[in-house]
Structure 1
Amino acid sequence: MYLKTVRYLSEKIPEKQRYPFNISFLEDFNELDIPNNVTFFVGENGSGKSTLLEAIADLCDFNTAGGSRNHLYDVHEAGSHLSDYIRLSWEQKVARGFFLRAETFYQFASHIDQLEDGRKYDAYGGKSLHHQSHGESFLSLFRHAFGEKSIYLLDEPEAALSPTRQLSLMRIIKELEHDAQFIIATHSPILLGYPNATIYNFDDGPINEIRYEETIHYILTRRYLEAKDKVLAELFLDLE
């Protein structure tokens, strides 16, 4: 394991009513332990899970627009305002890794195309990411660029992945789990089922660790699959 603790310097915040310092989970946030090599952040949009992941990426010197510390390009509003007030503690510091930001992956692919290195596509399946489908480009990155002794921060990787390819990502994680660390912000009930992972919930106040079966993602998905007609009837009740 590499990263072991994320600490919040709340006493140094100059204006707590300003975003992102007014996100609810930060009100009682002091320290978060990362106890193993696969950790998930879950919560509704706006709960702060991606904001914290982005701050961690910034402190790892990864490009907060997406990429590693070697990918130098800019995307508007891709910086982290939280990272100045976060401290990371390491079991063993690593310099290798990658921050996947699904919403800016197009710009990352364009950045790779603009490089003059003749081997620039070696880590992406041998061809431009723009010449692959969205899902194929994500998997090309995972399969060819990910390796050992690295930390990978993935922000909603399921955005481009079918259920089958989400399972493919889980296999890649399993292959690397003993020599790489993954912290993943996700809404996917498939990815959250990864065995023995730590799941941190960002909803309802302070961050708390929950079991897979306690996540709203699992509960809603199971209910829908077991009683689809009933769920839809309730959902559309006032529209009849």
Structure 2
Amino acid sequence: MRRTHVPAPLRNAVSALLVTLLAVSAALLGAGSAQAAGYRYWSFWESSGTDWAYATQGPSIVRPDDGTVQGFRFAVSEDSSDADRPRHAPDFGAICADTPAKGGTKRVALVIDPGTPEDAPDGERPPALRTACAQVAPDASSAEALASVAKPLRYDSSAMICAISGYPKTGCGEQVPGDGDGGTKDSSEKPSAPADDDEGGSSGGGPSAGLVVGIAAVLLLGAAAVFQARRRR
């Protein structure tokens, strides 16, 4: 069998092409990861004993029992598993110590955590974390308990809480780039909680499946070109 000779200029050109394609692929994939987005919003939490659990229903639906502890945290997060918890223990005894029980009412302990300056919208600074003991009617919802101690509240058309005690002044569940610059971009979808990764769409700005497949196809074509070149005399 005769040994195939590939001219040096052709070998060099094909090698340079493959190196370039690999570099571009890495850059695209890296950029996609760097641009992963989150949402800036008030998350709703319920006490799970000594810790917090992300609420599965909105505050306008939940009707807490007497002695319940609930929390609200303002932050940027990609989804419910990534959301920041309130930075205060869910301690009903401590929060409602100065609010004695009263017939015909219930007490709901609330932790209201506006978050950190890093998560604040441009031009705003979060107020201090605070706790409150709401004493409300027995059938009051969590939203009604919150309204009794933290007005003004602001909602959007889907009943998502946009502001508690007037913070923030603007915005409601807006999408935030994952580059850490604090900027925002409008999103037509403003979920009450950020979308989960398994909902079938792109989760937060990463490279799409089509992009990855396209890169793989180009690399495959490049490899085929090398193979064909080696077969030619």
Structures share fold, TM-score greater than 0.5: no
TM-score normalised over the length of structure 1: 0.24
Bigger share in helix = 1
TM-score normalised over the length of structure 2: 0.25
Which of structures 1 and 2 has the bigger CA Rg? Answer: 2
